[in-house]
Amino acid sequence: MTDLIPATGPSAAMPPAEGGTMLLRGGTVHSPADPFATAMVIERGAIAWVGSEGAADSFADGVDEVVDLAGALVTPAFTDAHVHTTSTGLLRTGLDLTGAASLADALELVRAYAASHSGGGVLLGHGWDTSRWPEERPPSRAELDQAAGGRPLYLSRVDVHSAVVSTALIDRVSGVTERTGYRPDAPLTADAHHVVRAAAFASVTEGQRADAQHAALRHAATLGIGTLHECAGPDISSEDDLTGLLRVAADTPGPRVVGYWAEAVSSPRDLAKVRELGAAGAAGDLFVDGALGSHTACLHAPYADAAQSTGSQYLDPAAIATHVALCTEAGVQAGFHAIGDAAISVVVAGVRTAAQQVGIARVRAARHRVEHAELLTPETIAAFAELGLTASVQPAFDAAWGGQAGMYVQRLGAERARTLNPYAALLRAGVPLALGSDSPVTPLDPWGTVRAAAFHQTPEHRVSVRAAFTAHTRGGWRAAGRDDAGVLVPGAPADLAVWEAGELVVQVPDERVAAWSTDPRSGTPGLPDLTPGRPLPVCVRTIVAGRTIYERPNE
């Protein structure tokens, strides 16, 4: 077997061309239609049949392809509900600082990258995180100037809500020193960061951008990801970036791309742009606040390590209400980026006002979404359930920054940090969850994401592997308005992945009951054992709309 053509794919509005008929047999099919299924048939891009090995014999002569699963596990393909595709691809081919263990390491990586990349373009890098460095500070501008050899340099923090840059890049952006968030020798935040980021990424050519998108989507396919939700917007990417991605997606078989455009709507005319761009909604990274790591998430009480700061608020309840009401009336999904408790309260207040204007039933039916939703309270969780808001969350954030010694405790103190990312409480309240990575903030890693939710570093926030898996498959489709997908049943889109997975178990988060079971009489389809320390499943094949978009090479 060989790797196929670049695994890019069509948008939700333009499904991929359907593959031929295919019989997969001799494995384990994770399907609620038959918990003992070992085989399935795909026809015209949809699942036609799921059942037992004996019945599969009757299909073998009438299909175009028979796939011997050799005991492998078949599951729905994953949906990553929050991705920045071009940035993900640029990181895979560019300057990656996520592994830098110190300031000195980061500067050495910059020197080496600058030396190996000649020319006049902007040097782009991502992933520095001072909370993991012994120096506990970012590089100064003078240090960056020296490491980059005087060239324009942009380095985003791991959360992408602040950046350090060289003097040569600052000099390219007129008026940046007057912008909110500019400080002479500190990371740029807020408006200053947005305009410098735009200038830096404007240096990326259309060809480079397309190459990065192909690279990111090809990588997603190797991980069993069948759909990506691209969170684009004027402060995080550009119109050309989104339309270019959707064009790349439409031209090559691969993962589906659902595009979101994060620009506030203040009149019906503004919705025309959303439609013209091919976006599924005016949602995604429409910033109400920033991020905890950059001290820009908006809090009710000051940061533990920055006592004078409660972060940044970019939208008020009135603007949120207008956005949600107009989107709801037009049948367009709305959504926001909100991390801090104050920002989430602002979103709830705005959506509630919109519900009073257009009716709560219409607001609930629109399935508006909130990205990240980290610092929730019992009151805001209840409001999410009341208003029908989907929580688009990233469990890898807790794996990276949670725990007693993690960045969350540094920023908020132990008591508040312990309340972050309460997935179990959200599910108990009936709040729909969709899981994602926010790549490149944390990597594309679907099984790692499921593990992070099931083994949350705060035990009371853990959910079962089954619940997390559902949120990372069917939950992503539901977040985009589709209830008929993300599950292997007849009639559903044939988006699936084949895995080398080892023993299958049924894992639950509560230690007071059996942690796992292999008893097939339970009738509950098993999933891989994701206990920390165990190897994660390996993707063998990814299929979207009945077409194989990735096949693992022979080893």
Q: What percent of the chain has pLDDT over 90?
A: 80
Instruction: Note the pLDDT of residue 314.
Output: 96
Q: Is residue 103 in a domain?
A: yes
pLDDT band at 550 (very low <50, low <70, confident <90, very high): very high
pLDDT band at 17 (very low <50, low <70, confident <90, very high): low
Three-state DSSP string of 456-520: CCCHHHCCCHHHHHHHHCHHHHHHCCCCCCCCCCCCCECCEEEEECCCEECCCCCCCCCCCCCCH
Query: What are 46-50's contacts with CB under 8 Å, separation 24+?
Result: 46/490, 46/491, 46/492, 46/493, 46/494, 46/546, 47/488, 47/489, 47/490, 47/491, 47/492, 47/493, 47/494, 48/21, 48/490, 49/490, 50/488, 50/489, 50/490
pLDDT band at 245 (very low <50, low <70, confident <90, very high): very high
CA distance 438 to 393: 9
In this structure, are 189 and 141 located in the same domain?
yes
Is 1's pLDDT higher than 80? no
Instruction: Note the pLDDT of residue 27.
Output: 97
Q: Scanning the structure block, which residue is given the tokens 């320390």?
A: 533
Q: Is residue 365 in a domain?
A: no
Which residue range(s) make up the domain with 92? 83-201
Is 113's pLDDT higher than 60? yes
Number of domains in the chain: 2
Instruction: Note the pLDDT of residue 554.
Output: 78
Q: What percent of the chain has pLDDT over 70?
A: 94
Q: Give the mean pLDDT of the chain.
A: 92
In this structure, are 68 and 136 located in the same domain?
no
In this structure, are 87 and 169 located in the same domain?
yes
Q: Is residue 232 in a domain?
A: no
Residue of 171, 177, 162, 83 lying closest to 126 (CA atoms):
162
pLDDT band at 75 (very low <50, low <70, confident <90, very high): very high
Is 536's pLDDT higher than 60? yes
CA distance 115 to 111: 6
In this structure, are 115 and 34 located in the same domain?
no
CB-count burial class (<10 Å; 0-12, 13-18, 19+) for 426: buried
Residue of 442, 466, 471, 463 lying closest to 524 (CA atoms):
466
Is 198's pLDDT higher than 80? yes
- As given in the structure block, the two tokens for residue 259 are 């595009």
In this structure, are 69 and 117 located in the same domain?
no
Q: Is residue 375 in a domain?
A: no
Q: What is the CATH number of the domain that holds 185?
A: 3.10.310.70
Is 13's pLDDT higher than 50? no
Q: Is residue 286 in a domain?
A: no
Among 201, 236, 263, the domain-final residue is 201
In this structure, are 46 and 124 located in the same domain?
no
pLDDT band at 14 (very low <50, low <70, confident <90, very high): very low
Q: Tell me the whole-structure pTM to 2 decimals.
A: 0.90
Is 521's pLDDT higher than 90? no
Instruction: Note the pLDDT of residue 10.
Output: 33
In this structure, are 95 and 188 located in the same domain?
yes
Instruction: Note the pLDDT of residue 12.
Output: 45
Is 126's pLDDT higher than 80? yes
In this structure, are 73 and 174 located in the same domain?
no
In this structure, are 52 and 88 located in the same domain?
no
Three-state DSSP string of 412-426: HCHHHHCCCCCHHHH
Helix (DSSP H) and strand (DSSP E) numbers for the chain: 20, 23
Instruction: Note the pLDDT of residue 510.
Output: 63
Among 201, 226, 257, the domain-final residue is 201
Is 119's pLDDT higher than 80? no
Q: What is the CATH number of the domain that holds 47?
A: 2.30.40.10
Q: Which of 7-11, 464-468, 482-486 has the lowest mean pLDDT?
A: 7-11
In this structure, are 91 and 60 located in the same domain?
no
- CB-based contact 113:146 (threshold 8 Å): no
DSSP state of 71: T
pLDDT band at 18 (very low <50, low <70, confident <90, very high): low
Among 158, 173, 201, the domain-final residue is 201
Q: What is the mean pLDDT of residues 111-132?
A: 88
In this structure, are 93 and 192 located in the same domain?
yes
CA distance 531 to 522: 21
- CB-based contact 72:498 (threshold 8 Å): yes
Give me the half-sphere count of Cα atoms (radius 13 Å) on the Cβ side of residue 173: 29
Is 93's pLDDT higher than 90? no
Q: Is residue 160 in a domain?
A: yes
- CB-based contact 504:518 (threshold 8 Å): yes
CB-count burial class (<10 Å; 0-12, 13-18, 19+) for 153: buried
Residue of 526, 483, 473, 396 lying closest to 98 (CA atoms):
396
Q: Is residue 518 in a domain?
A: no
Neighbours of 62 (CB within 10 A): 10
Q: What is the mean pLDDT of residues 289-305?
A: 96
Q: What is the mean pLDDT of residues 454-478?
A: 97
Angstrom CA distances, 451 to 431, 472, 525, 530, stand at 20, 11, 17, 6
Instruction: Note the pLDDT of residue 524.
Output: 76
DSSP state of 176: G
Neighbours of 17 (CB within 10 A): 11
In this structure, are 106 and 185 located in the same domain?
yes
**Per-residue pLDDT tens over the stretch 41-73:** 999 999 999 999 989 999 988 999 999 999 999
Q: Is residue 124 in a domain?
A: yes
